[in-house]
Amino acid sequence: MAENKRRDFLKKAGAVTAAAAVATTIGAPSVVKAEKTYQWKMVTTWPPHFPVLGEGADKLAEMITRMSGGRLQVQVYGGGELVPALQSFDAVSQGIVEMGHGAAYYWAGKSPAAQFFAAVPFGMNAQGMNAWIYTGGGMQLWEEVYAPFNLKPMPAGNTGVQMGGWFNREIKTIEDFKGLKMRIPGLGGKVLAKAGGTAVLSAGGEIYTNLERGVIDATEWVGPYNDYKMGFYKVAKYYYYPGWHEPGTVLETFVNKKAFEALPKDLQEIVTTAAMASNLWMLCESETKNNFYLDKMVKEEGVQLKMFPPDVIRKLRAYSTEVLDEIAAKDPLSKKVYESFRKFQKQHQAWGEISESAYAGLNKV
Amino acid sequence: MAENKRRDFLKKAGAVTAAAAVATTIGAPSVVKAEKTYQWKMVTTWPPHFPVLGEGADKLAEMITRMSGGRLQVQVYGGGELVPALQSFDAVSQGIVEMGHGAAYYWAGKSPAAQFFAAVPFGMNAQGMNAWIYTGGGMQLWEEVYAPFNLKPMPAGNTGVQMGGWFNREIKTIEDFKGLKMRIPGLGGKVLAKAGGTAVLSAGGEIYTNLERGVIDATEWVGPYNDYKMGFYKVAKYYYYPGWHEPGTVLETFVNKKAFEALPKDLQEIVTTAAMASNLWMLCESETKNNFYLDKMVKEEGVQLKMFPPDVIRKLRAYSTEVLDEIAAKDPLSKKVYESFRKFQKQHQAWGEISESAYAGLNKV
């Protein structure tokens, strides 16, 4: 399959050009323009058609292709089909392909500031992230972070509040993280390390077996739907919430800047609008499916839901602040982004307390 | 200005047709198609360019026009510019214009089931409404409700959790609603009536004066940003939260079905995707602006924020259930929609408690 796709890739290389001579009827404005069709490849960090995340990438490509009436055709490649998952950023940056789909925290090694555009421990939820990025100044900062890599970023999905992870021992105090080997990437992993645990990196396909064999003691993944598909409920006893480390993870698409700028304005608008619509679709899909699978795991599979105790949360939050402050202290761009993020979060939280939280609280009245 | 627009409207009437003969280069697929450009009018229930809501309609029209490269040009008309605000539904239904922008509860008189697609007292927030509509079966039901009117509905905005309203006396018990004359439309108004109050309808431009002169005792509107612009803080003392009656109001666009079906597939896709993107944009804009204006009113204008007391909430909720049950009992389509809504809400609430609410609650830990 990967081989077939590579052949396909060679066959389709280069944009197909069609010159359009538009004849006009009487009274209509005279339009004569050269039309060109574009064949783009989108590499992703997800396995092909991976539930929600990979499906979001498929959806985005489909929207672009359909809205452009086939003038911009986007073909999606799962991680490893064309380039390895975590080389997606480089492949688009170098112009090997035009477009990518992933999550910005994968590129912390390129620019530490990237992480703020994916998930920040004790940061904002989906609604806050979207407001900050689209209308609160976040987008301009994100563009600044990706500009040196010749990339144009756009939000293209959100998982909503994730779960805290699967554990085989109860977390009663912060001491219970000492010596704990947990699969947890990004900033969350750094926080775990401060608590005395070991953040283990393992590819999606290996987590289940590692957890079963005791190579790792715990893992986080996404939310009930994705976690159910991975089968973790069969090998771990406790399912903790909430996902303090990923409260509203933003998925992204990134486009090679030259490829983007080479598009006519209408196709540019199609790409950015499709990304925005696919962003909303993904959150809806997660929210809808999570309802169902959480229920299923609790009722049919006997999963034990546990909330992290308050004192554990307080400690994790203090460590998170340390981690974020350290990143900001080392990198001026991270500092700039963090300050914007923090300021927006503070305001959003104040408003959230009398809107979303107050409203949700009525359930308990 | 309304006159100018009417002349403009006559001038632009009828679709401009351009036949495009597309010459192909060697190797490119042969594409020969007739191209047509479309001039659409969008009538809205909002004053022209009204903050957030009207701006959302402008944004939607702009996205469609830009993505289509001008092949589908949408011109927006504020309420009263082409047809009176609340005749938008009829105008699009009858094919006088192609497209409208409003909120589904305005059309309760056409079909009571419409209200479930705008705001339900003690119903779902923005995230829940979007999930239900896009991926939880709501969309199909909404299409069923609007089908007899030759309309295709789509979500095209959300206000987020609204505020509970402006009052000149404190609400300490449910008795305080007795004899209260409040501007509150839709289902919320019916709930108020059950509590012994009088729901007064008044056009946006009259509310301030009515409140100042004591013609009404209270009013709800939207959220801090829109409410600030209306100046209510100058004539009312108490600003109550949360907006139990409109916890995540969906704004809509509705398209004349025949006009929609006459579009080529790519333009159809452009309309639906633009609506989805504009939906997200509006919520972001509200969330971002509400932060700022709430702060401003509390700190600079001395607004007194008050939360409805628990016992008042319990009574309002009981009345809301009565109102909804009565609607469902009288109209089979409302019953069908309400059942879908209620089922989804129950699941979304269960998931929300361990995701959004649990996460928001960490702030208090």
Show residues of chain B in contact with A69, CB under 8 Å: 264-266
**Residue A40 domain flag:** yes
How far is B323 from B187, CA to CA, in rounded Å?
7
pLDDT tens, residue by residue, B177-197: 999 999 998 899 999 999 999
Q: How far apart are the C-alpha atoms of A153 and A145, rounded to whole Å?
A: 9
Helical H segments across chain B, by residue range: 2-12, 53-67, 88-93, 126-130, 138-146, 186-194, 204-213, 224-230, 257-261, 265-300, 310-330, 332-354, 356-361
The answer to the question of residue A111 being in a domain is yes
Cβ neighbours of B16 in A, within 8 Å: 25, 27-29
pLDDT score of B318 = 98
Write the residue in A31, A287, A363 that is nearest to B131 by C-beta.
A287
pLDDT on residue A30: 39
Q: Is B184 at the interface with chain A, CB within 8 A?
A: no
C-alpha distances out from residue B100 to B12, B206, B254, B261, B276, Å? 18, 24, 5, 16, 15
Which residues have CB under 8 Å from B148's CB, separation 6+?
B111
Min distance A119 CA to chain B CA atoms (Å): 14
Phi, psi angle pair for B325, to nearest 5°: -60, -40
**Is A161 within 8 Å of B19 when comparing Cβ atoms?**
no
Q: Coil, helix or strand for B156? A: strand
Residue A237 DSSP label: S
Average pLDDT of B206-210?
A: 93
A162 → chain B, closest CA residue: B355
A199, β-bridge pairs: A182
Which pairing describes strands A250-256 and A151-158: parallel, antiparallel, or unpaired?
Answer: antiparallel
Strand-by-strand arrangement of the B38-44 sheet: B72-77, B38-44, B99-102, B250-256, B151-158
Which pLDDT score is estimated for A321?
98
> Which residue carries 């008189």 as its tokens?
B109
From the list B134, B273, B292, the residue facing A284 with the nearest CB is B134
Class of residue A298 by CB neighbours under 10 A (exposed 0-12, middle 13-18, buried 19+): middle
Is the pLDDT at B311 greater than 90, yes or no? yes
Q: B263 and B72 in contact (C-beta within 8 Å)?
A: yes
Chain A window 313-332: which residues touch B at a Cβ cutoff of 8 Å?
Answer: 313-314, 317
Inside any domain, residue A70: yes
pLDDT at position B175 over 50: yes
- Provide mean pLDDT across the span B49-74: 97
Residues of A in contact with B119 (CB under 8 A): none
Share the mean pLDDT of chain A: 91
Q: Is residue A243 part of a domain?
A: no
Give me the residue label for tokens 């009829």: B90
Q: For residue A294, is it within any domain?
A: no
Q: What is the pLDDT of residue A29?
A: 45
Q: In chain A, what residues touch B55 (CB-CB under 8 Å)?
A: none
Q: Is B101:B153 a contact under the CB 8 Å cutoff? A: no
Total count of domains within chain A: 1
Judge whether A343 lies within some domain. Answer: no
CA distances (Å), origin B17, targets A261, B37, B258: 30, 6, 18
Largest Cα span, chain B: 80
| CA pair distance A282, A273, nearest whole angstrom | 14
Between CA B126 and CA B334 the distance in angstroms is 21
pLDDT band of residue B206 (cuts 50, 70, 90) is confident
Tell which residue, A69, A71, A62, A78, has the closest CA to residue A39: A71
User: Does the pLDDT value for residue B3 go beyond 60?
Assistant: no
Q: What is the pLDDT of residue B26?
A: 42
Of B127, B136, B270, the CB nearest to A127: B127
Residue A295, chain B, CB below 8 Å: the answer is: yes
Whether chain A has a CB inside 8 Å of the CB on B21: the answer is yes
Q: Are the beta carbons of A355 and B63 separated by less than 8 Å?
A: no
- pLDDT > 90: what percent of chain A? 86
Give pLDDT tens digits for A78-114.
Answer: 999 999 999 999 999 999 999 999 999 999 999 999 9
More confident residue, B351 or A2: B351
**Looking at the predicted structure, is the pLDDT value of residue A273 above 90?**
yes
A147-196 pLDDT, tens per residue? 999 999 999 999 999 999 999 999 999 999 999 999 998 899 999 999 99
User: In angstroms, what CA-CA distances link B225 with B51, B269, B288?
Assistant: 8, 32, 9
Cα–Cα distance, B98 to B113 (Å, whole number): 23
Compute the distance between CA of residue B268 and CA of residue A16 in angstroms, rounded to an integer: 25
Contact B307, B171 (CB under 8 A): no
Query: Residue A133 sits in which domain range?
Result: 2-159+250-288
A8 has a pLDDT exceeding 70? no
**Closest CB from A21, A126, A291 relative to B351:** A291
Residue A325: inside a domain, yes or no? no
Across the interface, whether the CB atoms of B363 and A349 are under 8 A apart is answered: yes
Q: Is B348 on the interface with A (CB under 8 A)?
A: yes
From the list A153, A185, A205, the residue with the least C-alpha distance to A47 is A205
pLDDT of residue B34: 52
**A210 lies in a domain?**
no
CATH of the domain at A7: 3.40.190.170
Q: What is the distance of C-alpha A220 from the center of its chain?
A: 15
Confidence of residue B44 (pLDDT cuts 50, 70, 90): very high
Predicted ipTM of the assembly: 0.91
Residue B244, judged by CB atoms within 10 A of its CB (0-12, 13-18, 19+), counts as: buried
Least confident of A11-15, A288-292, B328-332: A11-15
**Which chain B residue has the Cα nearest residue A364?**
B310
Do the bridges between strand B165-167 and strand B218-219 make them parallel or antiparallel, or are there none, so unpaired? antiparallel
- Which of A122, A127, A362 is facing B244, going by the closest CB pair? A362
Predicted pLDDT of residue B12: 43
Instruction: Give residue B148's pLDDT.
Output: 98
Give the Cα separation of A347 and A14 in Å (integer).
Answer: 48
Rounded Cα distance, A223 and A159, in Å: 8
Displacement of CA A206 from its chain's centroid (Å): 20
B-chain residues near A37 (CB < 8 A): 28
For residue B249, the distance in angstroms to the closest alpha carbon of chain A comes to 13
Helices B265-300 and B53-67, interaxial angle, to 10°?
A: 150
CB contact under 8 A, A273 and B274: yes
Does the CB of B11 have a partner CB in chain A at under 8 Å? Answer: no
Using a CB-CB cut-off of 8 Å, the residues of chain A touching B283 are 127, 130-131
CA atoms lying within 13 Å on the CB side of residue A185:
18
- Nearest by Cα to A345 from A114, A128, A139: A128
State the pLDDT confidence band at A34, using cuts at 50, 70 and 90.
low
Dist CA B347 CA B350 (whole Å)? 5
Chain A to chain B Cβ contacts (< 8 Å): 272
**Amino acid letter, B365:** V
Subunit contact B131:A63, Cβ cutoff 8 A: no
Q: Which of A222, A245, A284 to mutate to test the interface with B (most CBs of B within 10 A)?
A: A284
The type of residue at A298 is V
Nearest Cβ partner for A131 among B288, B307, B362: B288
pLDDT the model gives residue B185: 86
In this predicted structure, what is the pLDDT of residue A31? Answer: 44
Say which of A66, A130, A357 has its CB closest to residue B266.
A66
Q: How far apart are CA A79 and CA B356, in angstroms?
A: 30
State which H helix or E strand residue B198 sits in.
strand B198-200
Residues A288, B160: C-beta atoms closer than 8 Å: no
Write out the two tokens for B85. Answer: 């605000």
- Of B46, B49, B62, nearest in space to B251 by CA: B46
Name the minimum distance, in Å, from the CA of A358 to any CA of chain B.
6
Phi/psi region, residue B274 (left: phi>0; alpha: psi -120 to 50; beta: rest), is alpha
Chain A residue with minimum CA distance to B35: A22
Whether residue A350 lies within 8 A of chain B, CB to CB, comes out as yes
pLDDT band at B137, cuts 50/70/90? very high
Q: Which of residues 207-226 of B touch A (CB under 8 A)?
A: 223-224
As given in the structure block, the two tokens for residue A112 are: 């530490």
| CB of B359 less than 8 A from some CB of A | yes
